[in-house]
A and B are shown apart, each in its own frame.
Chain A
Amino acid sequence: MSELRLGFPGNEKRVEAQSSGATPWDLDSKLAVVGKDHARQEAPLKVSGRAQYSYDVRFPNLIYARLLGSPHAHAKVTKLDLSKAKALKGVLYVEDLTRGGRIRYAGQAVAGLAAESEEILADALALVEVDYEVLPHAVSVEAALKEGAPKVRGRGGNAGRARIQGKKAAVNAAHASADLVVDATYRTQVQTHSCLETHGCVAKWDGDELTVWASTQGTFSVRRSLSRALGVKARQVRVISEHMGGGFGSKFGADLWDVFCCKAAKATQRPCRLMLNRAEEHLAGNRPDSIQRCKFSAKKDGTLLGAEVRALGTGGVGGGAGVFNPGIYSFQSTYSEQRDVNTHASRARAFRAPRHPQGVFALEGMLDELAEGLGIDPLALRLKNDPHPVRQAQWKRGAEAIGWSRRKASGSDEGPLKRGFGLAAARWKHNGRPGSAVLVRIGREGTVEVRNGAQDIGSGARTLLATLVAEELGLQPSQIEVHLGDTRDPNGPASGGSTTSPSLAPPARAAAYQVKRELLESAARALKVPTEQAQGWDLKGGKLTGAPQALSFAKVCALLTTDTIEATGKGDRAAFSLPRFTSEVAGCQFAEVEVDVELGTVRVIKVVAVQDCGTVVNALTARSQINGAVIQGVSYALFEERILDPGSGRQLNPGLLGYKILGSLDLPEIESIPMSVANGINPTGVSSLGEPPAVPTAGAIANAVANAIGARVRSLPITPDKVLAALAEQARAKKEQKK
């Protein structure tokens, strides 16, 4: 048993914890390298263009593959003739992929082809003859819900069963006792993953052994799904992902195109490459849209009463269109009724904090509408109703950083350029999971090698593991060599749910601790000291401490009688069962914007993001992860939107010129504040960071826009036409009032 001091300065608690092995870190731990800034280990490779992404993998006899997509959103394939394509010189492999012949979204694959070159491939695609029986389609929620709308799948209507939480009667009673009830509808758009490195892989067979270089956030899940799809054993498949060019939830397993690529490689006995092009990339995943009808109520003093949400959204031919709304705040009662609506559009997939950015945009908008109606400062309303102890502190810290006291009454700035301030909250689970193993190997020459088969999705996982292992071995992170992204190494998690760091940190520390004990015992034997004495020894600041001789780390290693020693740390259930300070990760963001009310343009001036992620292992990459989430959030708030033509069902903005992603001129100042909280949970206290800061950005910006202009845009993205419409509507309402 040991006692842990959890929490953060100003809010602490002491708990008893059962632990074996390394002593869990808490507020009393004096850490040498954990929590400092460490440059990403692979940074020199990335900035010099030497980092090899899966997209870059080439072989001398490489062939190229592509899928042919349907131009129709809803159709039956009545004939597919690949003979002319196959007869073209240089075409090596073709496959009919129509599978039953029903097309449910534009771009759905009907055939796959592989050829000697990309140019031949393009010509071959044009030679595929397909006859379609074109059927009526519906690509929007509204169209899919119309009477007599074409059915997207199976029986029943296009609307799925309602998911209901809470009691309608209770929320009605809460509304009835309220001083203010606000009723409003919020809308969000479809955002596509648009990874910089598109989806796909390079596959190479050597007899019955397959190696796949995949752009993936789950090397092991790709191995599993490929082995199933190809009917081979998992051990015959090796998946490598050395560097990742972006993954936000759409790159977990082997997709249809990956399987086709592997088949083409097998059939031709040549390495094959299939990476999606930019237009196809939009089909590989998206964040569903939403229509959220909200009714919230409160007492005069700001006590929240009822929150009622009726939400619809479409994940295209897939599901997943729920929203995280209501939540976070202490309502007296809540009721939520949500439905997925199927449309003839490509399938939604998990997208960085699924359900959350869209839900929190509406939730925080509603809270601000209550605050405005009650004449209460939005920050005061949050402080009154937010039960999370960490977020209570974060609200104050963020408010100071943005200069919340500069916030004026909504729309009160003189002149066409108006400033505004807004805020919103983030939440996430502590998502570390058991099942991973990390190997740490020390060499007689003083080398330290860390291995795990999971990928670095971009968080800087190599440097995180190096820092944790360095801490335990009394070294600097730069002295540790980390290998990731190869399924030949020990099992690791798929990077989804912000699980990678919190899942790998405990086994990494455990492995470093075990191998350290072995190293110290080996040193004791070499120094002819009873090994029990080594129990009091440690490695700190690159030296042996507590021993008769303060040998350097290198000298200690030189005493080894074998070339290497190693230990594999296991992230078993016990490693994740320490007491915890809170049940959820907390965060909040503040935005300052400037709106030109004559032209409707919004400029985000600054975003402050305060984020709890348990133990901050590497402050530099933690800030970087938060920066990335905020950038994606600003882009979601103001620009990104998949536009499907109602008439054809095809995407009208398939390129990066039309599908607008924030660029350098649109980038606000970002102040990212990773807040270290001794959360307990596991012996490192490391928790989730990738997703939570992606949750509140759009909500904070929308609230800042409303504060600036004194009118509310309840629809994302906030484009000039919507700003002008909101202002015109407000001017009209004011005129009505005067009458």
Chain B
Amino acid sequence: MKPFSYAAPSSYPEASALLREHPLALPKAGGTDLMDLLKEGVVEPPRIVALGRIEPLEGNPNALPANMTLAGLSDPGLAERFPALAEAASEAATPQVRNQGTIGGNLAQAPRCAYLRTRHACLRLGDSECAAAAPEAFTRFHGVFPASGCRSGHSSSLAPALIVLGAQAVIQGPKGERSVAVEDLYRAPEAGALGDTILGYDELITRVDLEPTPLSRQSVYLEVRERQTFDFALVNLAAAATFKGEGEKRVIQDVRLAAGGIATSPRRLKRAEAALRGKALTDETLRAAGEAACAGAQPTAHNGHKLILLQRLIARALRQIAAGGKQK
């Protein structure tokens, strides 16, 4: 591990200023992943700005502090207003990681690409090629929508839920605060940059604002993983929908879908939403939505199952919402 300086400010503006002094400095929230990246030598920051001393905001139950832990999201009130978020938080990682990992860290996490993590050639790490792009590369866990030459599949549990819930991320920068929809928090990968967010090197997520709505109350979160104990999802999906009409005339009124594990960043499935809106919930409708969600995908020889999983999760989620919510 390369030596680095360590700062533990007590406010976000102060943290932002400390980051600004060293463009290669990295913020540390729960540290559940950063510590591994440091130990493996994947990142070598000259300074670490620890956010642990910043007092969490209190008061508004729909404004979630970025340094709230995933375990902190297991709140019955939250689960009632935003079921998809509570479910996403409870499915993530392990109890130990959920006690330590934060909302901000989960949203701004580094890719889980096995090639990046084992220091194979990686565009994000400044190399001129990507080892995962080789035809025989092992890509069972990679995404099916590559961007900027990167095949990683984004692993945030919370992002798809927050996107579907229409959450706003509040960002602290040197010149003050700004607010963006979580959906717009992400960008295509850039050569030499590890992360996938629009955050400047001196910016930090401080808060996530939510608004309870009829749609948010009818949200679900589903994920498929190989191992139940501590594993990243092959595909995760958040969905929210409202219905109108009765009996055979019952149709989907409003719907939002977002998925992870399939693209370099969490992906809003707008085409699939369009295929569902105003339609009755039939096999035919769901098939059309599934196909729309997969349009343009470029699976490898190893990860075609992700598209099957995506389609089936969409169908399962919609049926679950129509049946009244969470089912186990």
Contacts and interface: CB of A to CB of B under 8 A. Distances in A.
The answer to whether A and B come from one shared complex is yes
22 contacts: A598-B316, A599-B312, A600-B305, A600-B309, A639-B227, A645-B137, A646-B138, A647-B134, A647-B136, A647-B137, A648-B131, A650-B118, A650-B120, A651-B118, A652-B114, A660-B227, A663-B229, A719-B140, A720-B226, A720-B305, A720-B309, A724-B305
Interface of A: 119, 122, 598-601, 603, 638-639, 643, 645-648, 650-655, 657-658, 660, 662-666, 719-721, 724-725
Contacts of A603: 228
Contacts of A598: 312, 316
Contacts of B229: 662-666
Given A648-B120, A720-B234, A725-B305, A658 B114 contact: yes
Given A645-B137, A657-B231, 10 more contacts: A122-B1, A643-B138, A647-B131, A658-B117, A663-B228, A664-B229, A666-B228, A666-B229, A719-B226, A720-B309
A719 to B, nearest CB: 5
Interface of B: 1, 36, 94, 114-115, 117-118, 120, 131, 134, 136-138, 140, 224, 226-231, 234, 302-305, 308-309, 312-313, 316
Tell me which of B137, B234, B308 has the highest count of chain A C-beta atoms within 10 A of its own C-beta: B308
Contacts of B94: 663
Contacts of A651: 118
A665 B92 CA distance: 13
Given A652-B115, A652-B118, A646 B136 contact: yes
Contacts of B1: 119, 122
A651 B114 CA distance: 9
B131 A662 contact: no
B231 A660 contact: yes
Nearest to B223: A599
A652 B309 contact: no
Contacts of A645: 115, 120, 131, 137-138
Contacts of B312: 598-599
B286 to A, nearest CB: 12
A647 B134 CA distance: 8
A538 to B, nearest CB: 52
A664 B229 CA distance: 6
B176 to A, nearest CB: 38
A281 B313 CA distance: 37
Closest 4 CB pairs of A and B: A663-B229, A665-B228, A721-B305, A652-B114
A639 B309 contact: no
Contact of B224 (A639, A653, A720): A720
Given A647-B137, A662-B227, A724 B308 contact: yes
Contacts of B303: 721
Contacts of B308: 724
Given A660-B226, A663-B227, A663-B230, A721 B140 contact: yes
A599 B226 contact: no
Contacts of B120: 645, 647-648, 650
Contact of A666 (B115, B140, B224, B227): B227
Contacts of A652: 114-115, 118, 138
Nearest to B230: A663
A648 B227 CA distance: 27
B302 to A, nearest CB: 8
B224 A601 contact: yes
B319 to A, nearest CB: 11
A415 to B, nearest CB: 12
Given A601-B224, A666-B228, A654 B118 contact: yes
Contacts of B302: 721
Contacts of B118: 650-652, 654
A657 to B, nearest CB: 7
Contacts of B114: 643, 652-653, 658
A665 B93 CA distance: 12
Nearest to B313: A599
Most chain B CB atoms below 10 A, which of A650, A657, A725: A657
B261 to A, nearest CB: 12
A732 to B, nearest CB: 14
A666 B231 CA distance: 11
B227 A599 contact: no
B187 to A, nearest CB: 26
Nearest to B305: A721
A662 B229 CA distance: 7
A646 B67 CA distance: 40
Contact of A599 (B137, B231, B309): B309
Nearest to B311: A598
Contacts of A655: 36
Contacts of A654: 118
A58 B325 CA distance: 55
A436 to B, nearest CB: 39
A724 B229 CA distance: 21
Contacts of B309: 599-600, 720, 724
Given A653-B114, A658-B114, A599 B224 contact: yes
A665 B94 CA distance: 10
A603 B225 CA distance: 12
Contacts of A663: 94, 227-230
Contacts of B137: 645-647
Nearest to A639: B227
A216 to B, nearest CB: 27
Contact of B226 (A122, A639, A725): A639
Nearest to B113: A652
Contacts of A666: 227-229
Contacts of B228: 603, 663, 665-666
